[in-house]
């Protein structure tokens, strides 16, 4: 019997649940410890890598340009993004109950997806910045002013929290009367809606439509921006200019692909009813692996960023010698 059938049959004789059980990755205690060590290392490396990018942008005056300011904020956002889920996942590896309260579950749901939507906004802003810089170089200083990129940064940090408030409220208002087991490592909206006692098709439809419109819309905006950028780069007479522009765009496009690829599979694809194991693997990729890769992608393919990072490490070595 499915969760949906069980919920429908039990709606009359059970009370509202107060907590959920996140199954995570069921395995032996030894494997749980192995997972804990692996994801702890991944989490530390993710925080360290993104913190270095943010510090490089903050400390190196040569990086005080709209492109790098947006990148620095994006790295800070990545740190917040992984911190909404990974610490709780690590705690569950060492826990036998794997319990999370109703309020904590929906708080995690809200912050995780709000930061995710903020990432979509920043990827759009970064694509727009590259479009202006390469396709409209003469107009760039007049359009991408300090007020403009400051507004983009403020909007980027607040956008997801405003936009995603409605879906969270709608799903949290659904009746939950048991069972309370979520076969996932985080409070994902689809398993949560499946645990509801009543099949609210309106909420499901609004949530699905909301995701399709926003995720597809931002993805198409980014693709169109870079398509125009690539066309402009191909027309450049200088080989050196082409190489630099392509190198910068390649970094952005790689990050966009790593993020939007699995997100589209989970929340936009018509056949998104993936098995539970597949859902967890896809979510793990865009919530843990992608934030780890982003600092490497941006630092390894960007000369200015590599120079700034070398400067930070040289200062640290000098301080250690003192």
Q: Residue 318: its pLDDT value, please?
A: 56
Phi-psi region of 95 (alpha: psi -120 to 50; beta: other; left: phi over 0): beta
196: pLDDT strictly greater than 50:
yes
Q: Residue 208: its pLDDT value, please?
A: 85
- Both tokens of 297, joined, read 């992608």
Domains present along the chain, CATH in parentheses: 3-321 (1.20.1070.10)
Average pLDDT over residues 144-167: 93
217: pLDDT strictly greater than 50:
yes
Whether the pTM exceeds 0.85: the reply is yes
22: pLDDT strictly greater than 90:
yes
Q: Residue 36: its pLDDT value, please?
A: 96
7: pLDDT strictly greater than 70:
no
> Using one digit for the tens of pLDDT, what is the confidence trace for 108-148?
999 999 999 999 999 999 999 999 998 999 999 999 999 99
Average pLDDT over residues 158-162: 92
Q: Compute CA 314 distance to the chain's CA centroid, rounded to the nearest angstrom.
A: 31
Phi-psi region of 98 (alpha: psi -120 to 50; beta: other; left: phi over 0): left
301: pLDDT strictly greater than 80:
no
Average pLDDT over residues 194-209: 85
> What values do phi and psi take at 182, rounded to 5?
-110, 115
pLDDT band for position 10 (cuts 50, 70, 90): very low
Contacts of 117 (CB under 8 A, 6+ apart): 159, 160, 163, 164, 214
21: pLDDT strictly greater than 80:
yes
């Amino acid at each position: 019997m499915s969760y949906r059938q069980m919920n429908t049959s039990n709606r009359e004789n059970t009370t509202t649940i107060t907590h959920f059980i996140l199954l995570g990755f069921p395995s032996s205690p030894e494997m749980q410890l192995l997972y804990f060590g692996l994801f702890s290392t991944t989490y530390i490396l993710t925080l360290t890598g993104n913190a270095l990018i943010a510090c490089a942008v903050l400390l190196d005056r040569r990086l005080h340009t709209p492109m790098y300011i947006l990148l620095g904020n994006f790295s800070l956002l990545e740190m917040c993004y992984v911190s909404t889920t990974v610490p709780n996942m690590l705690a569950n590896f060492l826990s036998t109950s794997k319990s999370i309260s109703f309020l904590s579950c929906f708080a995690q749901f809200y912050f995780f997806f709000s930061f995710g939507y903020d990432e979509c906004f920043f990827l759009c802003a970064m694509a727009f910045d590259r479009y202006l810089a390469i396709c409209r170089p003469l107009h760039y200083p007049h359009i991408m002013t300090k007020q403009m990129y400051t507004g983009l940064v403020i909007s980027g940090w607040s956008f997801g929290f405003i936009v995603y408030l409605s879906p969270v409220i709608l799903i949290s208002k659904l009746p939950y009367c048991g069972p309370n087991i979520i076969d996932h490592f985080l409070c994902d909206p689809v398993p949560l809606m499946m645990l509801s006692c009543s099949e609210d098709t309106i909420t499901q439809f609004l949530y699905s439509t909301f995701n399709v419109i926003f995720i597809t819309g931002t993805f198409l905006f980014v693709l169109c921006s870079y398509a125009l950028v690539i066309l402009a780069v191909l027309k450049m007479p200088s080989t050196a200019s082409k190489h630099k522009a392509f190198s910068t765009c390649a970094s952005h496009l790689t990050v966009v692909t790593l993020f939007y690829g699995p997100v589209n599979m989970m929340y936009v694809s018509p056949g998104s009813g993936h098995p539970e194991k597949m859902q967890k693997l896809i979510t793990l990729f865009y919530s843990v692996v992608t934030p780890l890769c982003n600092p490497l992608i941006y630092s390894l393919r960007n000369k200015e960023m590599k120079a700034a990072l070398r400067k930070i490490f040289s200062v640290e070595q000098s301080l250690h010698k003192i």
